[in-house]
Structures are given as structure tokens and as C-alpha cells.
Structure 1
């Protein structure tokens, strides 16, 4: 009898505990992306009409409904087409392969070399006031020099020079090209850099194709394995020199603090490799041996150089990808992720510029949108107007949340009231100096 009472009491307690445990919510279902990551991609159309009307590029995406329009726009199709062409051109090719370079490609080399010289002429400030883990203010000096030099750099192309006969349409294109070129090097206000700036460099190359300056069928291998990689290596120098903050709170979705496309193109380089596998990134000797030949391994080497913790801790996505069996699957997955997590994410897409050459495809006087920001405040903004100037929100520097944003202290392309993310380069440098107090780790969440 006593045992029956104990059993009954135990059953009652178990039943009570079960009732107190909340039923887990059903997982959210999201619409699956296309099986083909390059669905809708179109080769860039060369603009040769001498009567085309140029305009100053500006931002057109300010609300979620604009993303639908963007996905159906000529610009989206051509950006995808450009990425597809470069991705296919990199397949099974090493950075050390012999690649034919046309005269326009050599001119782009010279342009990037002159930007590198500007960096050398503008070293970061090492005063006591600027030795924090966050962006170095001397980056703004470099950026101003870059802005002043842009027009001269673009005129290295003969067809863009003022005195070139019959090149009227190209001369008028300089202002459009300048916007994308300048936006490729980071944000001077926030002193940060992310995948959106990397996308602007891709768009700059796309515009050179549309203007007929470079020819994609002929120049694609050189554009991806020479020009794009030269840009990435130069950006690594800039990131380290000025301690640029990662734009956004997650770096680039757990791949790298700053970049995405080198992983996409890098996996294409290894598409049918005879012995290197995705899991080879955990072998330090293999990484070092292959970094000069393959973007993917060079990126891993760069990460290992500034981050001492396990790859699983600071780059869990890369760690997960390393378990995939083939590079072809990695490349396909990278392309899908870039489409969904970069091109079709509002926090990044809102910073894409649209003009005559990169066509949004919707008249600017279509109407207004109501933007709901991350704190419940609403504001209306006409389509195409970047009301915030930096973050794309419908409020100004004093955001209406009871505080104002100091220069360079906005959080990047996420919520306007987040915290800045420290530069890994600055953190590594500070660790070498032996800080008086241990640095608090920033959680990856």
C-alpha cells in the first residue's frame, strides 16, 4: 500500500513537471532559394549609345518591398552574371598560372598600385589617443586623398580622358564610376569595411565591362585571378594598417571579418583538385604551402595570423564547411549563401548604388515607403532617398532614441544602436604589447 502511494506521488510530480515545460515552438519555415544560385543571371550589356543620360548613382533600397524590386531588376541579373562569369573563369586555375592581360587590365593594375602608394604615404597614427582596438582615424585622411585622386586615376583609361575624341559618353561616365570606386575601400565615417564594400568593387568592374573598357569573355580570368586578388591583398593591408572595424556584428556571416567573394572564387579554383580537400584547411602546413596559389587557403592563413583561438570559436561556418566532401559542393553552397545572405539581405543591399549603368529599373517618383526601424519608430522616405546618409535608416544622426551617434561610432550596417566591433588586427597588436588588463572577449552571437 505504501509503495502504491509513493508510485502515485511520483507519477503526479512527473506529470506536473511535464506541464511546466513549455511546448517548443514549431520551426519557422522559410521559402527555399532557387536550386541554381545563378538563376536569373544575365551577361552585362555593353552601353554604346552616345546619347545615354548619366546620373549620379545613389541608394534606392530603403524598405523590404524594395528588395523584391531589386531581385527583378536589370542590376541584380547583371551582378549575378558578373559573379557567375568570374566564378567559372577561376575554376581549376591557380593564382600562379600564366594569364593573358589586356591593356585595360594593366591599367587597372596601375590604378590599384597608386592606391597602395596612398596607403604608404598615410601611415596610421600611433598617438595615445588612437591606440584602441577600434578604427584608426588616419584612415579618414587616406580616404580624402583617395577621393581627390579618383578622377585622375579614372583618366588613366584613354577613353575616359577629357581630350579623347569621340569618347563623350565615357567622359560622362567618370562620375558614375567614381562612386563605386570610392565606396570599395571602406566607410570613412565609421572606419569599417564589409562585404558591401567588396560588392562595390565588383560593381565597379561590372561598370567597366558595361562601358566596353574591359571585355568579359577575354578578360574574366585576369579580372578574378589578378585584379580582384590584387584588390583583396591591398584591402588586407588597409584593414591591418588602419584597424578597420568589421561592418556588422557578425563579420561576414562567420566566414571572415571582412570578405566573402574570395571564398566563393577560391572554392572554384579548387573545384577538381586532385588531393586538397575542404578539410585540408585544418592542416597548417598545407595551408601555408597553398596560400600563394589559392584564395581560399590564403584567406585561412590570414585568419590564422590574427586570431589565435580555434577556427570553431571565431569562424564556425568555415569549420562546418570543412566537413563537406567536395569543393564543387562548397562552391555551390557559397554561391547560394552569397545570393541569399549578401545580395538579398536588406542591411547590405540598402548600400548598393544605382545609376544609369547599374539600373534599378523602377522610376524614382513611384512613391514613398514607411520604414520601421529596429526600435519600433516609423518614418516615411521617398524611394531612392538615403535619409540617414550612412546607415540607410529613416532618421538622421540624432536617431530619436534619446542619444546621438558620435562620428565613427555607428554600428555599421546592422541596427543603428549596436556596439562597434573591434578590429582583429588591433586586438592582436594590443596583445603583443601586453595590456595591463586582459581583454574581454566579444561573443560570437
Structure 2
């Protein structure tokens, strides 16, 4: 673990209120599923001071350290558990492949077929996790319902047909839970980022282009990318050959201006595969350091993002009686608000905007006089999307 800090396991984590505990005592298999707990700035502050927050940050930094100087294409050891996780992700993509978009040419917003995909995924989720249970990688069967919540929330929001860093955070939580449960270990860290996470990103790019998922919020993920954050954080880590500010021998941040460099190295480095703007920081080590700070501040520290964080037994909410949930409201979009706050305020959900894929297709359709929806289907590869 980064700085030698261990990830807290479920038994040693901060205690959670009784109504959130997994009720898996002898003679009972009932489980209370993870749910949203962050509503106010007080809840956010408690989260940031909690063991769960520390575990998340430590996990991000541990994975970051593991892939410094490593490329996507180099040979790394794949454990049987990692191979099974990759099989699970393959099935997710297959579900999407078998659920084509419907004709939705009249709208530049999300395609309704995404809801069908989401329902199929939710229905299949328990079976997918049995792939980990059957070989004995996942020994705590009572944790499957909890894992399923984080897993299905990783792929977007069914109601809004959108996706953002909060959903990406759910995938990170799913991986962290697998780590807490012993399914994956520190020895798997390189494969978790370079194989599992990158496979997840490739599937999400397919979902974004296939179903025209809206960015979750009107400004995308805080100005980096309409949808993702972690590929930039870990991508800069790949290029920061050492945390001692020793950069990649040839690839400097300004290389992102060179199309030939992007073409040559996008298969090896996440940052080049995602990057669409230049960062003025001079060294990759500084970019990477800044990305970690930015993730804490702009994802884990932003109420509009973490108000959708799910807390359960493996990732508990702080046990503080003063943080009661009286006055919690849930609007028609599934968002939570403090008593007296209504609607989609700019501090909550922002203004819904069409996905960049929908906008690009609409422009092409106008030029060619064809169906906008059809211009992106089928799609085997997605170009990096532009920045805000």
C-alpha cells in the first residue's frame, strides 16, 4: 500500500450504524444493501475524515504506484482471479452488443435502449459474481448483493441515461471491495489498472457512443473529459517513471500536441489515449501528483458527486448520531436534496446536455442528410472525445 498504509478490512473499519450493518449472523442471510448517505456538507466532511475515505485514497495511490513506468502493452502476470474478472467484463460488453440502440433520431439525448441494457445487466449481476464464487476466489457469499450494487452502478444511471465520475467511482469501489474480500491482492495491482480498469474504460467508451450517454453534469468531469477522471490520474502515473520527479525519457507533456506521438503511444499509455488538452505542468511526476490532489478535491470532495456514493458494510459511513437523515428528499431523477431544496440546481445535477457523440452525429447527419443515430452504429472504436 502507498506509504505502507494497509487497506482497512471490513471487520476493522469504522463501525456503521446498526441499520446499515449487513445482517448476516447465524441463521440469517438478510443483507441491507449499500445506500446513499451524503446529503450535506457535514456529511461530506464526516466522509472525508472516515476510514472509508482513507481506504479509497490509499487504494488509488497504491494502484498508481504500481503502474509507474508501466505500459498497457507490456506483459504482466494475470492471476486466475483477474482472468475471471476480465471474463465478467467481457460478458458486460456482450450484453451491450446484444442490445442495439433504438431509432431515436428525434433526440440528441440518451438512447432509451440503454435502460434495456441496464436491466439485463442488473438481472445478470448475481450470476456474473458466481464466476468469482465458484472457484473459491470470493468466499463471503453474503457480500454478493453488496458487490452487485457497486457493479451495476458502475455503468451509468438508468433513469437519466448519463455517466460521470461518480459512476467511475463505483467501479473503483467494486474493485476495493474485491480487495477487502481477498479476491484480489496487492500482487494484482498492475493488472487491476492496466488490464481490468482499462478494459472497463474501453467498454464504457462503447456504451457512451452506442447509447449517447449524457455527461453527468453540465461541465463533464470538472473540465478534463466529459466522462472520466481516473485514466488521466493513472495515465500520468504511467509516464511519471519515478515519484522522485524523474520523467519518461522521451515523452514530455508537450508531446500531446504531436498527432504522430499520440498515434504511436496511445496503445501503451492511458493518458495519450484520453488526452485532448495540454497541461502546463512541466513534469509527468507533477501532473501525476496534481491528479491525485485533484481527484480528492474534485471527485471525492465534491458534494454533487459523492452524494451518490453508496455505503454498506464493506465501505461504511461514519458512526455519528448527529448525522441523521431527517429532511432528506429524493426527486424524480433519483437525486437527494436537503429539505427545502428542489429541482435540478446548478449545485446538484447541472443542466442536461447532449453527449459529444450525439452532437457529432447530429452535425454529420445535417451535412449528409442522413439519420444521426445511424451514423455512429455500429462502432468498433471510439475516438477520444473533445474537452469542454
Q: Does the TM-score normalized on the shorter chain lie above 0.5?
A: yes
TM-score, with normalisation over the residues of structure 2? 0.83
Q: Which residue of 2 aligns with 1:257?
A: 226
1:392 and 2:333 are equivalent in the alignment: no
Q: Which residue of 2 aligns with 1:156?
A: 131
TM-score, with normalisation over the residues of structure 1? 0.73
1:232 and 2:165 are equivalent in the alignment: no
Q: Which residue of 2 aligns with 1:93?
A: 70
Which segments of 5 or more consecutive residues in structure 2 lack a partner in the other structure? 13-21, 26-30, 241-246, 370-386
Among residues 252, 257, 263, which one is paired with 1:288 in the alignment?
263
Q: Which residue of 2 aligns with 1:327?
A: 284
Q: Which residue of 2 aligns with 1:339?
A: 296
The whole-number CA distance in structure 2 between the counterparts of 1:151 and 1:43 is 29
Q: How much is the aligned-residue C-alpha RMSD, in angstroms?
A: 2.9
The whole-number CA distance in structure 2 between the counterparts of 1:388 and 1:423 is 21
Which segments of 5 or more consecutive residues in structure 1 lack a partner in the other structure? 1-37, 304-317, 371-379, 402-409, 437-443
Deviation at 1:159, TM superposition (A): 5.5
Contact kept, 8 Å, 2:63 with 2:190, in 1: the verdict is yes
The whole-number CA distance in structure 2 between the counterparts of 1:88 and 1:432 is 42
Structure 1 stretches of 4+ with a deviation exceeding 6 A read 48-52
1:204 and 2:174 are equivalent in the alignment: yes
Contact kept, 8 Å, 1:151 with 1:178, in 2: the verdict is yes
Contact kept, 8 Å, 2:48 with 2:301, in 1: the verdict is yes
Contact kept, 8 Å, 2:66 with 2:189, in 1: the verdict is yes
Give the length in aligned residue pairs: 350
How far does the alpha carbon of each residue in 1:93-150 deviate from its partner, in whole angstroms, 9 at most, with x for none?
0001111011110010000000000010001112444xx2211111001000000000
When residues 159 and 212 of structure 1 are mapped into structure 2, their CA distance, relative to the original with a 3 A threshold, is: farther
Q: Which residue of 1 aligns with 2:213?
A: 244
The whole-number CA distance in structure 2 between the counterparts of 1:128 and 1:192 is 18
Q: Which residue of 1 aligns with 2:146?
A: 176
Q: Which residue of 2 aligns with 1:31?
A: none
Q: Which residue of 1 aligns with 2:375?
A: none
Q: Which residue of 2 aligns with 1:221?
A: 190
1:142 and 2:117 are equivalent in the alignment: yes
The whole-number CA distance in structure 1 between the counterparts of 2:34 and 2:5 is 21
When residues 266 and 118 of structure 1 are mapped into structure 2, their CA distance, relative to the original with a 3 A threshold, is: same
The whole-number CA distance in structure 1 between the counterparts of 2:89 and 2:296 is 27
Contact kept, 8 Å, 1:48 with 1:211, in 2: the verdict is no
When residues 151 and 388 of structure 1 are mapped into structure 2, their CA distance, relative to the original with a 3 A threshold, is: same
Contact kept, 8 Å, 1:43 with 1:82, in 2: the verdict is no
Secondary structure of the 1:358 match is: coil
The structure with the largest alpha-carbon Rg is 1
